Structure 1
């Protein structure tokens, strides 16, 4: 019997069980990595995403070769052709694969015609396995992230004082919502110059024209575990001490602020979640860092990331087609070309994504997802765009974040109310409104901000459905003070905006 290992492009870690279990016979164990051009053409992926994944794969393959693994690296139209040839050449009888995170890719593998047995090994790249999450969920009336997060803190003994949380509170989110001040001194992000392998990938992506979305250069991302570890160390030293306070703030020209830029490396397998959490907790004790900054970051990794992964598998496969509000507008063209919108908040955010394939969580939730929700864009269209545009995007994380949290398309599985807001929120948390041709305070008239008339139109259109959500009743009560004339004008402006998008 000959075992072969297929390393997937988002599991670039030597800690996966396929490699760990065969460590003693690595010189006799064939390993393969495959780039498939047909697969990446399914979506217009940001070109920096393609460069990151393929360069990281090529670097990882080189590291495995240096460690005496028998590695084949194939560049092909599909996955099946090189796999079949490699299996025949090496007389492989069992193909071992780390179970893919994404359901569609799991099905793709199952449907491959391979002349050998396929064994899926457990994915150990999360703190909670799928089965552990499901076991936890069975005793819950509602799957609240906060409850899950607290359970994780206890289970892994993170920021705990015996059975109680350090500081006496589990959550310091209220301290982490400060609007930006003038003249904030933000740290420079750690960047990397493209080496020969990365430059070769950049040239390849340009040559083959897999996608025309996003700038491909300058490419500043790390592509190895060593570089990912350097990004983590830089975050802990330079960004973590001020991370929490302004983590929701948005400033023109400030692409990263104090954010970690760690998610792409976590989702590729170049960093492990527990090592990230341990590094942050250790810094808290050694450097006496503000607890709100440390807890706020750990909640993102231990709470939100793990929770999203668990929910993805907890929900049925039809979850991706959820559309509770029955929104069906197509995605406006400016999502693919930021220059085509006059809304400054959207133009600034979308330009940033075109430049870097990155935007932080509030830009994603309260600018991009918020606009899609209140304007009535199809949840499936906006989710597909998120999956295409962001460097850390995968099916398991984008479905839950966009379909569930951002669009409330699941009717409340993930959130107790929709994350819908007018221009008032964006004005409070950013400087975007000061450079906009629209008036941040107007909800009717020639200069009315689309975020305003769409927000109130959203409440008007869905008031009956929203009444079933207790947390929305205070907001809905404001509609009683709105005159019929103003309500009609708001609905007119919303319809007019969409009509103009079609001309």
Structure 2
């Protein structure tokens, strides 16, 4: 029997379970990579996202060739024809691949069927193609929790709280625990120590950049020659594209950035694109780094060095808690979750989301400009500026999810569905978050220096000079007051809404309508 392996663009690891299944006969095991503009052209993807994935795929294919595998790397505008032709030419009788990360979407109309359920048969060939080929799906090694394990954990609980899941994960994988199986330091979560606003004249650590090699330069030229359906700037491209480079980024983070990561992980400063953030999310999401090796590297650094526990715990919580939780929920929820819209928000994405020069609010301008240049913004920039604006301005959660998916270099369906719909937009009505992440300008003014360079006043809410976040926030509360009263954590702020005069509330509604109508 001829066995072939299909490696997807976010499965670039020698720990790939399908790859490992054939390690003893690699010389006789055909492998295929398919680089397809047919798939990429479905959305306006960020140029640097395309460059990163295609360059990483090409580098990984070369690495496997050098290891003795029989590799076919196909660049084609017809994704399905390329796959089917390769199967026929190589007389593949069994096609093996690791379970796709994004296993609940059908990314293209083709001769491959991607069901929207959790059946292990993620796809099959249509009968008319008459390809006698068995599809064998192997478990996904890019995550620590298997979907069935998360389901077992979730079905016993009335509420799927992230904190509960995180504690269970710490115990399951023995992370930052004492000999008595208690959390080191006495607390499971040190998030309260990780909310410091930026100080004046902060000296941020150096960032590890990489000069594009010949392979990456070829991909850059390819992407630059794509005339339509891309977003952002292709250069300068500074991301890692190999496992060795990704490991260097991880080690650089531990050496230079981990120490202050926790303290300033929520802070935002003009001109500071990366602060103390690790910048490893693109690499872990495509398999160049594995989640447990990253967690263990940081945990070992804590035990061996002088790193504060709030930084170490805060970082590990992002991967072992948040990342695994999002993937688990993605596979657990019903299909109608992805169309949920609890507030019935229908406004389109404003034009300035695609062109930062049009953004008249400095916070939005700064984050969107950074995103255009790098394909990256850290979690608070995404949640409390971009997603917050989408929520209070009534933007369609599905349209916002689509923008996030295409704009960020580390974004995929499995993480953006639950993250944007559930956490950012509260579109699920509280399945994921305990309250909407809606905020006025006060939070942004506290956690950044953006307001100092803005034409709007973060202290006003009733004039044309008021920060739009202020009147949009109060208008959001007024529009959805009845629904929000069912959320216990919203009662305090709704009492402030009750004290607002009818005249002030009408002014707020007028300013909000005007803003939303004009984008």
Structure 1 distance, partners of 2:517, 2:253, is: 45
Higher helix share: 1
Structure 1 distance, partners of 2:517, 2:346, is: 14
Structure 1 distance, partners of 2:20, 2:305, is: 35
Structure 1 residue 89 displacement after superposition: 1.3
Question: Secondary structure in 1 aligned to 2:231?
Answer: coil
Aligned counterpart, 2:173? 156
Aligned counterpart, 1:15? 15
Aligned counterpart, 2:69? 69
Aligned counterpart, 2:466? 448
Structure 1 residue 209 displacement after superposition: 3.0
Q: Which moved more, 1:112-121 or 1:485-494?
A: 112-121
Q: Deviations over 1:320-371 (max 9, x none)?
A: 1110000001110000000101100000000000000000000000000000
Q: Does 1:5 align with 2:22?
A: no
Q: Deviations over 1:433-459 (max 9, x none)?
A: 000000101111120110000000000
Tell me if structure 1 keeps the 8 A contact 2:142–2:287: yes
Tell me if structure 2 keeps the 8 A contact 1:358–1:390: yes
Aligned counterpart, 2:40? 40
Aligned counterpart, 1:110? 123
Q: Does 1:343 align with 2:374?
A: no
Structure 1 residue 210 displacement after superposition: 5.3
Give runs of aligned pairs for residues 60-99 of structure 1, distance below 5 A: 60-99=60-99
Among 121, 125, 132, the alignment partner of 2:142 is 125
Give runs of aligned pairs for residues 405-444 of structure 1, distance below 5 A: 405-444=423-462
Structure 1 residue 211 displacement after superposition: 3.2
Give runs of aligned pairs for residues 49-64 of structure 1, distance below 5 A: 49-64=49-64
Tell me if structure 1 keeps the 8 A contact 2:356–2:369: yes
Among 138, 141, 149, the alignment partner of 2:155 is 138
Tell me if structure 2 keeps the 8 A contact 1:47–1:211: no
Aligned counterpart, 1:302? 320
Give runs of aligned pairs for residues 111-260 of structure 1, distance below 5 A: 112-113=125-126, 115=131, 116-161=133-178, 162-209=180-227, 211-260=229-278
Tell me if structure 2 keeps the 8 A contact 1:37–1:210: no
Structure 1 distance, partners of 2:471, 2:211, is: 45
TM-score scaled to structure 1, two decimals?
Answer: 0.98
Q: Which runs of 5+ in 1 are unaligned?
A: none
Give runs of aligned pairs for residues 310-389 of structure 1, distance below 5 A: 310-389=328-407
Structure 2 distance, partners of 1:245, 1:448, is: 30
Structure 2 distance, partners of 1:27, 1:34, is: 20
Tell me if structure 2 keeps the 8 A contact 1:80–1:112: no
Question: Secondary structure in 2 aligned to 1:95?
Answer: strand
Aligned counterpart, 1:399? 417
Structure 1 residue 481 displacement after superposition: 1.3
Structure 1 residue 251 displacement after superposition: 0.2
Structure 2 distance, partners of 1:181, 1:155, is: 38
TM-score scaled to structure 2, two decimals?
Answer: 0.95
Structure 1 distance, partners of 2:504, 2:124, is: 56
Structure 1 distance, partners of 2:420, 2:228, is: 25
Structure 2 distance, partners of 1:251, 1:178, is: 12
Structure 1 residue 500 displacement after superposition: 2.7
Runs of 4+ in 1 over 6 A off after TM superposition: none
Structure 1 residue 105 displacement after superposition: 4.5
CA RMSD of aligned residues (A): 1.1
Tell me if structure 2 keeps the 8 A contact 1:178–1:249: yes
Question: Secondary structure in 2 aligned to 1:222?
Answer: coil
Tell me if structure 1 keeps the 8 A contact 2:342–2:426: yes
Structure 1 residue 498 displacement after superposition: 2.3
Tell me if structure 2 keeps the 8 A contact 1:46–1:211: no
Residues paired across the two proteins, number: 501
Q: Does 1:24 align with 2:24?
A: yes
Structure 2 distance, partners of 1:198, 1:408, is: 39
Question: Secondary structure in 2 aligned to 1:97?
Answer: strand
Q: Which runs of 5+ in 2 are unaligned?
A: 108-112, 115-121
Structure 1 residue 213 displacement after superposition: 1.1
Question: Secondary structure in 2 aligned to 1:166?
Answer: coil
Structure 1 residue 319 displacement after superposition: 1.3
Q: Which moved more, 1:106-115 or 1:205-214?
A: 106-115
Structure 2 distance, partners of 1:357, 1:269, is: 18
